Amino acid sequence: MESMERCEFRPLLSSSKGNREGFCHWLSTVRLSRIIFCILIVLVIVPIVTHYYLSSVGSEQSESFHSRNKLDLPDDLGSAKATEVKVRIEEMLRIKMSVNNELRDLEAKRQKLQSEISSLGMKIEELKNEAGRKVIELDRIKLSISQAEVAHLEILERNQPELRLPDKLEPNLSNDILPMPNLEAESNCSIYSCVDFSRCSLISNFPVYVYPFSGEGYEERISASLSQTLNYNPHITSNSQEACLFIYVNSSPESELRKNLVTLSHWAGDGRNHIIFNIAFSSKETPTILSHGKNQNSTYGRAMIVQSVFQTYRPHFDLLVPPLLGPPGSDVWYDLPSITPARRRYLLSYSGQSFGSSPEVQSTLEQLTASTSSDEFYFEFQCSNPSNKTDTSLCGTIQTRSAVLQQSTFVLIPLPPTDLTSLAVQLRLYEALKYGSIPIMVGNHNAKFLLPYEDVIDWNRALIKLPTSRLPELHFYTRAVTDRDILAMRRQGRVLWEKYFGSVQSIVDSVVAVYRHRIGIPPPAILDEPSPSVFNETFTPLKTEAALQDVNGDLDENLGPIEPAYPSPKFQRNLTFSLLHGYEMWNTWTHPFHLFPQTPYDPVMPSEAKFIGSGLGFRPIGGGCGGSGKEFSENLGGNLPREQFTIVILTYQREQVLIESLARLNGLPYLHKVVVVWNSPRPPSPDLKWPEIGVEVHVIRTLKNSLNNRFLPYDVIETEAVLSVDDDAHLRHDEIIFGFRVWREQRDRVVGFPGRFHAWDLEHKNWAYNSNYSCELSMILTGAAFYHKYYNYLYSLVMPQAIRDKVDEFMNCEDIAMNFLVSHLTRQPPVKVTSRWTFRCPGCPVSLSEDETHFQERHKCINFFVKVYGYMPLLNTQFRVDSVLFKTRIPHDKQKCFKFI
């Protein structure tokens, strides 16, 4: 303002130089108007300039954070007109708007460029991941190629020729009628001296011909028990020309038997390869006793004799069997008591007549009764009403004896002093095994008293042999047997009774099996179950390619090579299996009647054998040098040759769930085949697209909706290892491969993921099924478990039918039944792998396990199965398997065996 005053008054000051007085006069004249004009100028201009500066320049500087310089005010603003100032202000506002628009455009471009940069960055990462996957896939392909090259070299270098079946032996029929042998040769007959092996080829399947019965009364007596039963045996043939052995069932007195034998079409003069069945049919019957060496008229040539009582016996040629007392059917378990508790009411029992020639025996037993021991004994030495008048060592009725035996821990069975056999002893042994009382055979065992099937059954596992002189130690002896030994012997006795004594069928099958075992012919091959496809021959299902999914949480983990389908070799141990495992077949596994393609019991070779002469099929880790994760993933290693596994999926009307489960199996190493058991009566939808997963997917049409279909031994299952999976189970690839590797080292057990246990109900005093979290388990659910195909045969063809019927009744419990079977045979618990407990399927339809009655039915199943087996076979385990190097710190250049297990 001062500058403005100076600017306005400068001419006035310059004009007043000449006359100061005139200036003052003039000044006084115009002062008032000048002052008024200046005041008006100040009042108008200053507010306008101030407002413009504050609203435009100051605001612009604040918004742009001093990015622009202050606007310079024109020097001649004071002399500018109001209109010019207004125009100048409007122009500045337009500039401001233009700059703001330009800034907005630049910001939009900047954001767009940033979005493009981010998108390109993501694309770069995806391409990097894809490149990594391709590299891994390439490595896997290279690994698969290297494995194929190894397999090819093995085929080229193998020095084991392919075996072909030998030529079939033809019987020598030129000397059809042979002279009778002398008595000495007949009494010394053995399998190798009196059997014509030319009729018994190794590939003949041991055909046996049964002579048709004839004569009045013959059919009434044996047709319902023995003759008809023989026809159910797989060895029986109707072609007598191809038969290895001939069976003649005797129902005639000895005087007529000889006449009947010489008329047989294949007797050939000496009865070679003939078996004479001469078996008692009840405890009240005195059978005809056939003997050798008495005189020429009573000789039976080279025929083998099967009967319940012998006076002369040819070891490993004739055969002692129990009387045919059991039912013809197979439900022999129904009337059997439980094998528990170990200690029963009576420590020892005996029912019979006095010991006759050994009065000290009766005296010893009477002293036990009179002793102050807390143990109870039941001794009965006199029979007021003997059930068998011809042999008074049997006392009382069968009902009375059975009631006593069911309450007896041990039962005393005296042996005859000189006889080889005794019908009474056979019957008492038969009853003791049936009712779970451990037999104590007292007598002179040096005189080789015969027991049934004496050359194949180990009787030391089911009874106690005690010499008569040890009777004073009898009480100490029985008390010294522990509970676990009592239960083991009682269980073994029950198993022997069920398999070889309990029914007419079991006795007949056992006799044929014993002679087949003696001649050295393998059992007949057990039959597979046909696997009809659910699709018609003219229908081709739709296919779709399944993508590799991130099923592990990390696709970078290499779990093994993708190999061509490699089925497990079959029937490689036809001849040697019986030689090496004959004892176990008869006494442990108790199924000598069939030959299986593979079993979990194959012997393991020494470690160096795979490198020295027997390396065919082996895939050692690092070629034998070992290694960590990288080398581990390239080969199976272990103690057995390479193999693959089959996945069996049971499904019912859940098509989409099934398809999703199949798609998750794409790229799974060591997978041979997927078998889908289609339990639904309705076929799959024609427009259903089945994923291509790199292996065959075979969908089986079932005859009915049954959970037992899960364990049928289908012929399309060509591997020993079977992974049973529910259609809604979610398993990662690494979990599956880890479970497979663990199973390879525990081949006779169930190996899997979801664990359960059987619990004792304290209130109701019975068993209950429990799925709560626990530090112990006793079952692995077969909705996600590995097991050997061998157990499919046993479940479907050997296990009591009543168990399978109960599964169909409840539509439940098939997994419990399989655990019962395996634990009963192995006496070991299952193996749980990794930390998985349950398997959920969000979005799946309601499953059977969510039904309210599900657990109640499983409680009932467990207690019913216990009754069938006679005890609880399930065993508890506190063990879980995790991978080697799990939680182990290893160098950075090494890998763990499994990253997440």
Establish how many alpha carbons lie within 13 A of residue 82's alpha carbon, considering only the half-sphere containing its beta carbon.
6
Most confident region among 4-13, 82-91, 139-148 by mean pLDDT = 82-91
Identify the CA nearest to 786 among candidates 647, 679, 900, 600: 647
Domain limit, last residue, from 502, 536, 566: 502
Which CATH number fits the domain that encloses residue 685? 3.90.550.10
Average pLDDT over residues 47-52: 67
Q: Indicate the pLDDT class of residue 472, thresholds 50, 70 and 90.
A: confident
pLDDT (0 to 100) of residue 385: 46
- In-domain check, residue 498: yes
| Domain-embedded: residue 72 | yes
For residues 242 and 353, state if they share a domain.
Answer: no
State residue 132's pLDDT score. 77
Mean pLDDT of 311-321: 91
Residue that the structure tokens 């002398």 belong to: 182
- DSSP tally for the chain: helices H, then strands E: 23, 24
Provide DSSP, 435-490: HTPEEEEES-GGG----TTTTT--GGGT-EEE-GGGGGGHHHHHHHS-HHHHHHHH
Q: Per residue in 374-429, pLDDT tens?
A: 899 998 876 544 444 444 455 666 678 889 999 999 999 988 877 888 888 888 99
> Could you tell me if residue 255 is inside a domain?
yes
**pLDDT (average), residues 269-286:** 76
**Burial readout 855-879 (b: 16 or more C-beta within 10 A, e: otherwise):** eebbbbbbbbbbebbbbbbbeebee
- Please state the pTM of the whole predicted model: 0.82
Mean predicted confidence (pLDDT) in 545-550: 67
799-812 per-position pLDDT tens digit: 999 999 999 999 99
Are 398 and 268 contained in the same domain?
no
Over residues 845-885, the pLDDT tens digits come to: 545 555 668 899 999 999 999 999 999 999 999 999 988 88
Same domain, 439 and 384: yes
Assess whether pLDDT exceeds 80 at residue 35: no
Asked if residue 681 is part of any domain, the answer here is yes
pLDDT in the model for residue 67: 46
Mean pLDDT of 628-644: 90
Q: Which residues are CB-neighbours of 761 under 8 A, at least 6 positions away?
A: 767, 768
- Confidence check: pLDDT of 239 > 60: yes
Sheet holding 319-320, edge to edge: 236-237, 208-210, 245-249, 274-278, 304-307, 319-320
User: Does residue 160 belong to any structural domain of this protein?
Assistant: no
Q: How confident is the model at residue 50 (pLDDT cuts 50, 70, 90)?
A: low
Asked if residue 719 belongs to a domain, the reply is yes
Query: The tokens of 755 are what?
Result: 């664990």
CA distance 141 to 795: 39
Mean pLDDT, range 531-552, rounded to an integer: 80
Domain count, the chain: 4
Q: Which two tokens stand for residue 455?
A: 């050359």
> Which residue range is the domain that position 71 belongs to?
2-79
250, 364: one domain? no
- Do residues 426 and 371 both lie within one domain? yes
Residue at which a domain ends, from 502, 529, 556: 502
* Omega before residue 569 within 30° of 0, cis: no
Q: Is the pLDDT of residue 659 over 90?
A: yes
Phi, psi of 408 (to 5 degrees): -110, 135
316 and 352 together in one domain = no
pLDDT (0 to 100) of residue 662: 95
Say if residue 300 is in the same domain as residue 397.
no
Sheet of 755-761: strands edge to edge? 766-770, 755-761, 779-780
More confident of the two residues 771 and 328: 771
Any domain includes 204:
yes
Q: Are residues 297 and 365 in the same domain?
A: no
Long-range contacts of 862-866 (CB under 8 A, 24+ apart): 862/758, 862/767, 862/768, 862/769, 862/813, 862/816, 863/766, 863/767, 864/802, 864/803, 864/806, 865/803, 865/806, 865/813, 865/816, 865/817, 865/820, 866/338, 866/767
Percentage of residues in the chain having pLDDT higher than 90: 45
Q: What is the pLDDT of residue 745?
A: 95
Tokens coding 475: 């009480």
The last residue of one of the domains, among 79, 99, 122, is 79
Cβ contacts of 219 within 8 Å, gap of 6 or more: 213, 227
3-state helix, strand, coil in the chain (%, to 5): 40, 15, 45
Shared domain for 229 and 374, answered yes or no, is: no
Q: What is the mean pLDDT of residues 230-250?
A: 88
Does one domain contain both 361 and 473? yes
Question: Residue 52 CB: number of other CB atoms within 10 A?
Answer: 18
Looking up residue 438, the CATH number of its domain turns out to be 3.40.50.2000
| Whether 239 and 377 share a structural domain | no
Residue 635 has pLDDT above 80, yes or no: yes
Mean pLDDT of the chain: 83
Residue 602 lies in a domain: no
Q: Say what percent of the chain tops pLDDT 70.
A: 79
- The residue assigned the tokens 């303002």 is 1
**pLDDT over 70 (residue 168):** no
> 310 and 364 share a domain?
no
- Positions marked catalytic: 815
User: pLDDT value at position 89?
Assistant: 87
